[in-house]
């Protein structure tokens, strides 16, 4: 896959390895991605982040344990909640 990777500097990797499959996750082909103020702060050292920035995206599920998800259009969400505790409810 192609990726912009931040590890003390921003580099474009045209042949970045695909992420490993983790139980319950889905592989998404990103169609469009945005760069927001948080991403710009990350490039300045915020949260000591290293990895692939860009949590605002739309895409299509290309692989998942739940086959009903394959082909579905999706959006990224950085606020993942448990849905059970008082704060999440």
The pairing of beta strand 26-34 with beta strand 10-13: unpaired
Tokens of 26: 């889905």
Residue from 71, 65, 61 nearest 30 by CA: 61
What's the CA gap between 69 and 57, in Å, rounded? 17
Domains of the chain, residue spans: 3-75
For the stretch 36-73, pLDDT in tens is 898 899 889 888 889 988 888 999 999 999 999 999 99
Q: What pTM was computed for the model? A: 0.72
85 pLDDT exceeds 90? no
């Amino acid at each position: 896959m192609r990726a912009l990777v931040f590890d003390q500097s921003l580099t474009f990797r045209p042949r970045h390895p695909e992420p490993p499959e983790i139980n319950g996750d889905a592989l998404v082909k990103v169609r469009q991605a945005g760069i927001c103020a948080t991403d710009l702060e990350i490039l300045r050292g915020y949260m000591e982040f290293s990895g692939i920035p860009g949590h605002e995206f739309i895409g299509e599920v290309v692989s998942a344990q739940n086959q009903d998800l394959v082909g579905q259009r999706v959006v990224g969400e950085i606020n993942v909640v448990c849905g059970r505790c008082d704060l999440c409810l």
